[in-house]
Amino acid sequence: MRWIAVDWGTSNLRAWVMQGDAVQAALSSADGMGTLARDGFEPALLRLVGDHLQDGSVTPVICCGMVGARQGWIEAAYQTVPSSPPQAAQSVSPVCDDPRLSVSILPGMSQASPADVMRGEETQIAGFLAAFPDFDGVLCLPGTHSKWAHISAGEVVSFRTFMTGELYALLSRQSVLKHSIPDDGWDDAAFTDAVGDAMSRPERVVADLFSLRAQGLVSTLDPAVARARLSGMLVGMELAAARPYWLGQNVALVGNGTLSQRYSEALAAQGVTAQTTDAEEMTLRGLRAAFHSLSEGA
Amino acid sequence: MRWIAVDWGTSNLRAWVMQGDAVQAALSSADGMGTLARDGFEPALLRLVGDHLQDGSVTPVICCGMVGARQGWIEAAYQTVPSSPPQAAQSVSPVCDDPRLSVSILPGMSQASPADVMRGEETQIAGFLAAFPDFDGVLCLPGTHSKWAHISAGEVVSFRTFMTGELYALLSRQSVLKHSIPDDGWDDAAFTDAVGDAMSRPERVVADLFSLRAQGLVSTLDPAVARARLSGMLVGMELAAARPYWLGQNVALVGNGTLSQRYSEALAAQGVTAQTTDAEEMTLRGLRAAFHSLSEGA
Secondary structure class of A165 (helix, strand, coil) = helix
The answer to whether the pTM exceeds 0.80 is yes
Residue B297 has pLDDT above 70, yes or no: no
pLDDT of residue B298: 55
Average pLDDT, chain A: 96
> Taking Cα atoms as reference points, which of A256, A259, A252, A258 lies closest to residue A276?
A252
Cα–Cα–Cα angle for A67, A70, A72, rounded to 5 degrees: 30
Helix axes A223-241, B205-218, angle to 10 degrees: 60
pLDDT of residue B295: 80
Of B111, B174, B208, Cβ closest to residue A174: B174
Q: Which positions in chain B touch A202 (Cβ < 8 Å)?
A: 202-203
Q: What is the pLDDT of residues B255-266, one digit of tens each?
A: 998 999 999 999
Q: Between A and B, how many residue pairs show a Cβ–Cβ distance under 8 A? A: 134
A12 exposed, middle or buried (CB, 10 Å; 0-12, 13-18, 19+)? Answer: middle
Return d(Cα A99, Cα B42) in angstroms, integer. 68
Q: Give the pLDDT confidence score for residue A294 in this predicted structure.
A: 86
Q: Are strands A137-141 and A251-255 parallel, antiparallel or unpaired?
A: parallel
Angle, CA of A120, A109 and A137, to the nearest 5°? 85
Task: Name residue B232's amino acid.
Answer: G
Tell which wins on pLDDT, B1 or A4. Answer: A4
Query: What are the distances in angstroms from CA A168 to CA A162, A209, A235, B172?
Result: 11, 11, 9, 15
pLDDT tens column, A124-151: 999 999 999 999 999 999 999 999 999 9
Q: What's residue A297's pLDDT?
A: 67
Q: Kindly state the helix (H) or strand (E) to which residue B153 belongs, with its residue range.
A: none
Closest residue on chain A to B161 (Cα)? A207
Pairwise CA distance, residues A165 & A179, whole Å: 19
B296 falls in which pLDDT band (50, 70, 90)? confident
Q: Is the pLDDT of residue B173 over 60?
A: yes
Per-residue DSSP letter, A199: H
Which residues in chain A have Cβ-Cβ distances shorter than 8 Å to B221? 115
Q: Which residue has the higher pLDDT, A295 or B235?
A: B235
The minimum CA-CA distance between A298 and chain B, rounded to whole Å, is 31
Best probe of the B interface among A75, A83, A121, A163, by most B CBs < 10 A, is A163
Share of chain A above pLDDT 90, in %: 96
CB contacts of A176 in chain B (<8 Å) are 145, 163, 166
Task: List all residues 6 or more positions away from B76 whose beta carbon is below 8 Å from its beta carbon.
Answer: B68, B86, B90, B91, B92, B105, B106, B107, B108
DSSP letter at B83? B
- Parts of chain A with a pLDDT under 50: none
Question: Do residues B28 and B14 touch, judged by C-beta distance below 8 A?
Answer: yes
DSSP annotation of B78 reads: P
Query: Which chain A residues are within 8 Å of B162, Cβ to Cβ?
Result: 206-207, 210
pLDDT in tens, A280-290: 999 999 999 99
Instruction: With both helix axes pointing from N to C terminus, report the angle between A223-241 and A188-200 in degrees, rounded to the nearest 10.
Output: 40
Q: How many residues does chain A have?
A: 298
Identify the bridge partners of residue A117 per DSSP, sorted by sequence position: A110
**What is the spatial distance between Cα B124 and Cα B287, in angstroms, rounded to a whole number?**
8
The answer to whether A192 touches A200, Cβ cutoff 8 Å, is no
